[in-house]
Every structure is written in C-alpha cells, then in structure tokens.
Amino acid sequence: MLLRNTLIFLVSSLLLALLMAGCSDSTTKTDTTGDTNLTDNFGGYKPTAESPAFGDNELMNLSGGTDAGDEVGSSTLVDSLANPNRANIYSLELAWGHLQYDSTENVITDWSGSLSLERGAIVAVRLLGFDAGDQIVRPRTSPTLLEWVSHTREYFDGLLVYIYDPHPLSFRTPNTLTFATGPYTRTFTMADLDSLSEVVDVDVNQFSIDAFKVERLACGEGFIDGKWIRNNIQNERGVFMGRWISRDGLLKGHVKGHFGVRDDGSRVLFGKWISAGLPGDNAAAGAFRGLLRGAWGYAPDVDPNLMDRGGFRGEIFDRTLTTVGHFAGDWLAIVTGHNGGDTGNGNDHMRGKGHGFMRGTWQQECEQ
C-alpha cells in the first residue's frame, strides 16, 4: 500500500530548501534521455509555450476516458445534493488490473463488482478502459449503488465518479463507501476521501484510488496520470509524462518532467504543464500553464535498493514563478534501461515507452 501522506516530512523539508535557494536564470534545457538538469531551480524548464503535447504523438492521442452517461447524474436527488448547504462532494478516480502494462499476462481477472454508499448518491462520470463487454450495469437500481462488469488481462479498467454525501451534521453515523469485487474489497469513510492517493497490490494486479473533496472556491482541481520511467540502473533518475485531467475527467493538458538525486542526496523533481487546447480551456494546444517543482521518495520501511514504488508531491508555479497550487501522488516502476521495451500504462496509454505509472491529484489556488 502506498500513502502519499507518508512523504510529507521528506518533501516539505526539501521544498523549503528549494525555496531558500531562490530562482535561477539558468537557460539549460532538460534532456529527458537521462542527463537531466537537477541543479537549476526549475530543472531547466521555462514558462514558455511548447509544441502540442510536447511533440509526442502518443501523449497527443491520450484521452480522459469516455463519458459514462449515468442517468443518476441528472436526477432530482443529485440536483438537490449539488446545493453546498446540503452535501459534500468528492471526486474519485479508481483503477484496477495491471496499472503497469504487462504483455506477458495471459490470465483474465474478473473485476465485476460495485460501489455502494450508505446514503447520498454515486454518479459515474467517466469510464477508463472498459473494453467490449465491460459496462456499467443498467438500469441503476439505486442512486447509492453502482454496479459494473469488468475483466482485465494485461491492461486496467477504471472509473471516475462523484460521491454526494448529505450534510454530515444531519446524521448520527458516519457515511461510508464500499468498493467490492472478487479480487479486492475495501470500505472508506468520507474523511478518508478528503485527500487520498493509494496503490494496493492485489496478487499480480493492483487497485488504485485517488480522491479529494471538491472545494467550491478552488480555481481548478483534478487528477494526474501517466508514466513514471526510471532509466537508470541505480533507480534514482528518470522521467515522467502524462495527462493533466479536470475533476470531471476531461483532458486539460499534458505534463512532462524528470526526477533524480542531487549531490547532497535530496530527491527532486521538475516538470511543466501545458494546455491540451480543447474547448473550454481558452488556450491553444501547447500554451504554458505551469511549472512543477517538488520531491519524490520511496515507500517507507523498505530497502530503497529493492524498492519499486513511492510517492511525490510539490508545488505549481505560474509564469512569474509565483506558487499557485500543489500536486501529490504515487508511482510504481521497475528499472528498464534507456530503451524500455514494449511496455506501457495499460489501455494503450503510452505503450512501448518503458515500465511504470504515476497517479495523483492537483489543486490550483485562486488569485487573491
């Protein structure tokens, strides 16, 4: 199990050190082949436009899944719970199967199951993966029960859902959400969902959940998912890339960056977020959105020389290099060498670019 909160002390200390170092005027460019810039205050990235999807065709073709078309989302119950005085809303991205693409897998795993809520409503927003024959069970029999049929082999399936929790002060017992499938079952409280990022091994598969409470005054929030590629045999250097997704699962942009270890032993990461240029974003594809700076680490209580997973967190900066938000999440990766082989993230997400995945959340602050 990975809990990004276990890295708070490590990352907070490093972020403080980075801030004390001040801003650099270095013009060094980032080389994502392995000779990465770890000394510049922003890793060599600049607040300028890039080619759409950083000129990467596979990044360009990534989507945020497909619309779930859930009829509960337009119900009078959900309309009433959308009132901030009546309910809290949580956004969850769930995934199960081989989050790290495995072309050698020949066993099909049945993940058919359900999400159930004690009270309130569950709304399916986006389907992630879901090949032919996989589907949400319709008609929905209750707003508190979402059922599906899902089978995975070398890839993964998943869902992005909204949870509507009626105002807790109106009830005596805590509300709970249960994920139930044959391979894995887990119950969460609403407090768990306030800010959560976990990856759990389920035999040879994994289950992941990223969740946050929707903040009505936030200027932007959502999810990050993509590739975490270690291209160094010492496991200490590599690149990450993927999708920048809104809280309702729509593709807002692309992210690309690198991570490594400085001479003083601190594990740092740097990156850049650009627009996908889709309707509603009010920007052309490749337009600058933010610089990323933070830290990464291994999961606790495990020998780093054997470690294949960990977490990351950091801050988002605008073109004036002012902090405007934050991000955090988990990663899992094995050493690949520079060429990586024909592996990927599942569901043809960046297949052929090396092992490893990352998943997390982001939040952008409002201007004062």
- What 3-state DSSP class applies to 216? coil
- Dump pLDDT digits (tens) for 218-235: 578 899 988 888 875 566
Question: Could you give all domains of the chain from N- to C-terminal order, each with its CATH number?
Answer: 4-61+219-364 (no CATH), 66-213 (2.60.40)
Q: Which of 17-26, 96-105, 127-136 has the lowest mean pLDDT?
A: 17-26
- Dump pLDDT digits (tens) for 321-343: 999 999 999 898 865 443 334 33
- The span from the CA of 223 to the CA of 243, in Å, is 8
Q: What is the pLDDT of residue 167?
A: 84
- This prediction has a pTM of 0.78
Classify the C-alpha dihedral 267-299-93-355 as positive or negative.
positive
User: Residue 352 carries which side chain, given as an amino acid letter?
Assistant: G
Q: What is the pLDDT of residue 82?
A: 86
**How far, CA to CA in Å, does 98 sit from each of 3, 110, 241, 299, 359?**
19, 13, 18, 19, 14
- Dump pLDDT digits (tens) for 41-85: 999 999 999 999 999 987 887 666 789 999 999 999 999 998 777
Q: Which residues contact 152 (CB under 8 A, 6 or more apart)?
A: 96, 97, 98, 108, 109, 111, 129, 205
Q: What is the pLDDT of residue 170?
A: 74
Q: What is the pLDDT of residue 11?
A: 42
> With 80 as the cut, is the pLDDT of residue 105 above it?
yes
Confidence class for position 217, pLDDT limits 50, 70, 90: low
Q: What is the pLDDT of residue 31?
A: 38
Q: Which residues contact 306 (CB under 8 A, 6 or more apart)?
A: none
Q: What is the pLDDT of residue 300?
A: 64
Tell me what the mean pLDDT of segment 292-311 comes to. 77
Confidence class for position 365, pLDDT limits 50, 70, 90: confident
How much of the chain, in percent, has pLDDT values that exceed 90? 54
- Dump pLDDT digits (tens) for 10-44: 444 444 444 434 433 333 333 334 457 999 999 99
Tell me what the mean pLDDT of segment 281-287 comes to. 89
> With 90 as the cut, is the pLDDT of residue 89 above it?
yes
Q: What is the pLDDT of residue 352?
A: 37
Q: Which of 195-199, 258-262, 277-281, 364-368 has the lowest mean pLDDT?
A: 364-368
The stretches of the chain forming alpha helices (DSSP H) are: 8-21, 57-60, 76-81, 190-193
Average pLDDT along the chain: 82
- The span from the CA of 151 to the CA of 131, in Å, is 8
Q: What is the pLDDT of residue 233?
A: 54
Tell me what the mean pLDDT of segment 92-110 comes to. 92
> With 50 as the cut, is the pLDDT of residue 160 above it?
yes
* Token pair listed for 232: 């160094």
- Name the strand (E) or helix (H) holding 186: strand 185-189
Q: What is the pLDDT of residue 34?
A: 43
- Dump pLDDT digits (tens) for 173-204: 899 999 999 999 999 999 999 999 888 999 99
